[in-house]
Amino acid sequence: MWQHTLTAIRRCIGTRRRRWLVAATLLVGAAVALGAPDRTLAGLSDPAQSLMSVTVPLLGILLVHDLHRSDNRARLTPTLLAAVLVAAGVGALGMLFCATGLAFKASAGAWDHAATIAAGGVLVQVLAQLVGTGMGLLLRSPWAAFPATFLPFAVWLALAPVAEWRWLTPYETARHLSSGQMSTQAWLQWLTVLLIWGVALNAFGAMRHAGRRRPGGASDGLSAPGAA
């Protein structure tokens, strides 16, 4: 399985467009982390990780789209694992950018809750990626799946008037993680969101993927050649 996982990770940069996507994601995070006015780890992590989480799901969508093209269902688990590892790497680099930004100038209490914020940055990207892979499994076209990754945010906006329901969306829990002030209730909220938007969405997508016949059609231009 690890060989297939490594192959899937390499597919993330298997084409020029994918390499540009990864580079753009990291550059946005670095620019925000180095230029944001709030010189605390929480103040830098929140905007940097939030903006990177917009494009991270597209990497997962493209990875599972390779499976649609190859019809190799046996490699779904390694592909999902690769997507999670890539997202975790993006989150870790985002925290490195934030730490670098604080090295130049830091406000009082800049490193408060540093461990929780660092873990939160990784978890934010992992969940964003799982939303991408789930939508990618449900929708065969990446151009349909990527806009669908904004559904959780739309749900958050719809539930905004009802505060007790807002925590069922990734955006609300991401704000808690970025602040570093995670109570027992906040962690339970995070686990609930993970089960809804990470586990359940991908499980449903995997069942839909398994029931499909081998698809045809032309490449989307972002897919890696020889995808497994």
Judge whether 33 lies within some domain: yes
Residue 174 lies in domain: 2-210
Burial class for 56, CB neighbours closer than 10 Å (0-12, 13-18, 19+)? buried
Tens of pLDDT, residue by residue, the chain (228 residues): 788 899 999 998 889 999 999 999 999 999 999 888 888 999 999 999 999 999 999 999 999 998 877 655 558 999 999 999 999 999 999 999 999 989 888 888 899 999 999 999 999 999 999 999 999 999 989 999 999 999 998 988 888 788 777 778 888 889 889 989 899 999 999 999 999 999 999 999 999 888 764 544 434 445 554 443
Please check whether residue 70 is in contact with residue 209, taking contact to mean a CB–CB distance below 8 angstroms. Answer: no
pLDDT at 107: 84
What is the per-residue pLDDT for 227?
A: 45
**Number of Cβ atoms within 10 Å of the Cβ of 124:** 29
Residue with tokens 């045809």: 216
Q: Given this model, what pLDDT does residue 221 score? A: 46
pLDDT at res. 72: 57
227 occurs within a structural domain:
no
Residue 181 domain flag? yes
Q: Is 63 contained in some domain?
A: yes
Is 175 domain-assigned? yes
The pLDDT, as a whole number, for residue 164 is 73
pLDDT at 81: 96
Closest of 137, 131, 47, 44 to residue 87, by C-alpha: 131
The token pair at 193 is 């969101």
Domain-located, residue 219 = no
The total of structural domains in the chain comes to 1
Residue 226 lies in a domain: no
* pTM score over 0.85: yes
pLDDT for residue 212: 66
Question: Has residue 218 been placed in a domain?
Answer: no
